[in-house]
Amino acid sequence: MEYYSIATILIVLSGVFGYINVKFIKLPITIGLMVITIMFTAIVVIIAQFDDTLLVQERAFIKSIDFETVLLDIMLSFLLFAGALHTNFQQLKIQKGPILAFATLGVLMSTFLVGIIMFYVLQWMNLNVEFIYCLLFGALISPTDPIAVLGILKKAGAPKKLETKIVGESLFNDGVGVVVFLTIFAIAAKPDAAIEFSDIATLFGQEVIGGLVLGLVLGWITYRLMKSIDNYEVEVIMTIATVMGGTMLAHKFHLSAPLAMVTAGLIVGTDTVRNTAMSETTEAYVDKFWELIDVLLNTVLFVMIGMEMLVLTLEGKYIYAGLLAIPIILMCRYISLWLPIKFFAKRLDFVPKTNLIMTWGGLRGGISIALALSLTQEMHRELFLVITYIVVIVSIVGQGLTVEPIIKRLTRK
């Protein structure tokens, strides 16, 4: 199917489902779209008991979408730039210590904890999966999804300093998590090859540090160019060029595009850049444009996630493993956040029950599904895809719908 046709169908479905949600269901847009898409898919499956024409067509349509490429190589850069652009940079600077610890130490600790526990759980279930593949699952499920987190936290009413920690962690741990996943993937793909620690450190350093440096350079260049002119149309186009050109450069030189886009977005969105390089008209147009891009791509993404259900191998053991994985992942996240919170609580004023709120508010989303789709059959792709899908659905719908009342209850003085 042609790219234009795929994009058209996804946007039409997003528009229709979005209208139904706003008019009748009135859930947060990310949750509402996923719920409606799953209901639509379930109806198609029921209809298929009498006539499978629509089911066959929908499955063919889903298989024609390269979810991994569409999300990781195209959509993610736009979504992260948009999210970073509207993040409070001053609060982020104050909270930079814990955010950095959550996004690095937290992701690594969670990766190993999830990998170790899932290895023994799957062995207990007579699913013989090698440890390295369980570790790979730990890497893909540990990062929280900034797309899901940003969309739901906007309406959760969390205290600003807490919201900054959760959003900041999600923006950065996503890039770090992808690098950790790719590193373990390289080891798992060549189990007999000798891979030196120096090779791993070089890959990690190149991706992470290189991505951050590229983002700084892109942000600075964009700022200087915007400061030298006063034309809102051209300045909006320049922000688009920053994202698209920067992503292409990151892929060419094997740097982390997510980290580059987060860094560039944070710089362009700072008060300094807004006050010195943007007129009021430019600032309004830049903000509105990226808000629209954020909403559009979010709606398309969550429709795609909902439709992926049709291509899963829904075996009983796989579903059971997915249900067992939910409390395991939440427990591992809680543990991985405990040490950084204890360390920084002495220096910074933390909201009470920060660990509990960040554990429940750390949602998983499309990035985990995209990484699971990149697994090979030897890496037990079908098993981990089902587990990931169940975790993501419960995370976005279950945690997403309850995070607001939980935040209000736990932060009530």
Domain count of the chain? 1
Q: Which amino acid is at 349?
A: D
Q: Which amino acid is at 266?
A: L
Is residue 52 in some structural domain? Answer: no
Is residue 123 in some structural domain? Answer: yes
Note whether 372 and 385 are within 8 A (CB). yes
Whole-number Å distance between alpha carbons of 99 and 104: 9
Locate all alpha helices (DSSP H) within 253-363, ordered by sequence: 257-268, 271-277, 280-307, 316-344, 354-361
Whole-number Å distance between alpha carbons of 413 and 232: 45
Is residue 54 in some structural domain? Answer: no
| Domain CATH number, residue 366 | 1.20.1530.20
Whole-number Å distance between alpha carbons of 206 and 251: 12
Note whether 217 and 267 are within 8 A (CB). no
Is residue 367 in some structural domain? Answer: yes
Whole-number Å distance between alpha carbons of 51 and 54: 8
User: Given this model, what pLDDT does residue 1 score?
Assistant: 58
Residues 6+ apart with CB under 8 A from 327: none
Note whether 245 and 194 are within 8 A (CB). no
User: Given this model, what pLDDT does residue 193 score?
Assistant: 58
Whole-number Å distance between alpha carbons of 163 and 170: 11
Note whether 304 and 68 are within 8 A (CB). no
User: Given this model, what pLDDT does residue 157 score?
Assistant: 66
User: Given this model, what pLDDT does residue 146 score?
Assistant: 75
Whole-number Å distance between alpha carbons of 129 and 122: 7
Q: Which amino acid is at 262?
A: V
The length of the chain in residues reads 413
Note whether 238 and 81 are within 8 A (CB). no
Largest pairwise CA distance in the chain: 65
Is residue 90 in some structural domain? Answer: yes
pLDDT digits (tens, 9 = 90+) for 1-54: 588 898 999 999 999 999 999 999 998 888 899 899 999 999 999 999 998 899
Query: Please, what is the angle between helix 76-85 and helix 280-307, to 10°?
Result: 140
**Burial of 354 per CB tally in 10 Å (0-12, 13-18, 19+):** buried
Whole-number Å distance between alpha carbons of 214 and 211: 5
Residue of 195, 184, 192 lying closest to 111 (CA atoms): 184
184 to each of 56, 338, 390, how far by Cα in Å?
36, 24, 23
DSSP 103: I
**Residue ranges for the chain with pLDDT beneath 50:** none
337 to each of 49, 91, 117, 128, 344, how far by Cα in Å?
47, 19, 17, 30, 11
Q: Which domain holds residue 118?
A: 67-410
pLDDT digits (tens, 9 = 90+) for 286-341: 999 999 998 899 899 999 999 988 889 889 999 999 999 999 999 999 999 998 99
User: Given this model, what pLDDT does residue 197 score?
Assistant: 64
- The tokens for 133 are 């593949």
User: Given this model, what pLDDT does residue 268 score?
Assistant: 95
User: Given this model, what pLDDT does residue 334 score?
Assistant: 96
Note whether 364 and 391 are within 8 A (CB). yes
CA angle 352, 117, 125 (to 5 degrees): 130
Residues 6+ apart with CB under 8 A from 165: 95, 98, 99, 102, 354, 358
Is residue 83 in some structural domain? Answer: yes
